[in-house]
């Protein structure tokens, strides 16, 4: 019997009204090895949702984070939401503190509301 892959949930990156794609721009600014790890982690979410710890964690208010440990010995976070069978990726950053900064959560929440509108 052939094994079937679970269906992929399509992922969309936030795009501003002016056409800017800050999350993609941020990803492109990272070293190739770091991008590869984040991409693999995101693919795990797309093919395996719902995914729990240690890869994903709820941030509340409909937001989730992909938790990536990078080869550059840094920690990256991609913040996303799931709505109507799609993943909206709204923010990404290198984590420098234990707690996700409120400013990053505010950006992510505002972009999520924009994408759902």
- Could you tell me the strand order of the sheet in which 75-83 lies? 11-13, 86-95, 75-83, 63-69, 56-60
Q: Which domain holds residue 94?
A: 11-116
pLDDT in tens, the chain (117 residues): 556 666 889 999 999 999 999 999 999 999 999 999 999 999 999 999 999 999 999 999 999 999 999 998 899 999 999 999 999 999 999 999 999 999 999 999 999 999 999
Q: Tell me if 2 is assigned to some domain.
A: no
Reduce the DSSP state of residue 77 to 3 states and report it.
Answer: strand
Tell whether 70 is covered by a domain: yes
Residue 5 lies in a domain: no
**Is 117:88 a contact under the CB 8 Å cutoff?**
no
- State pTM to two decimals: 0.92
Domain count along the chain: 1
Residue 49: count of CB within 10 angstroms of its CB: 16
The CATH number that applies at residue 104 is 3.30.2310
Task: Classify the C-alpha dihedral 13-52-116-83 as positive or negative.
Answer: positive
Any domain includes 23 = yes
Q: What pLDDT is recorded for position 4?
A: 67
């Amino acid at each position: 019997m052939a094994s079937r892959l679970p269906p992929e949930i399509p992922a969309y990156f936030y795009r501003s009204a002016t056409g800017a794609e800050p999350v993609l721009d941020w990803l492109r600014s990272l070293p190739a090895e770091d991008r590869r790890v984040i991409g693999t982690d995101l693919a795990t979410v797309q093919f395996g949702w719902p995914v729990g710890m240690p890869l994903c964690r709820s941030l509340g208010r409909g937001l989730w984070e992909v938790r990536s440990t990078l080869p550059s010995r840094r920690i990256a976070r991609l913040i996303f939401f799931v709505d109507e069978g799609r993943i909206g990726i709204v923010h990404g950053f290198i984590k420098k503190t234990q707690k996700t900064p409120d400013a990053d959560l505010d950006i992510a929440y505002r972009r999520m509301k924009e994408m759902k509108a």
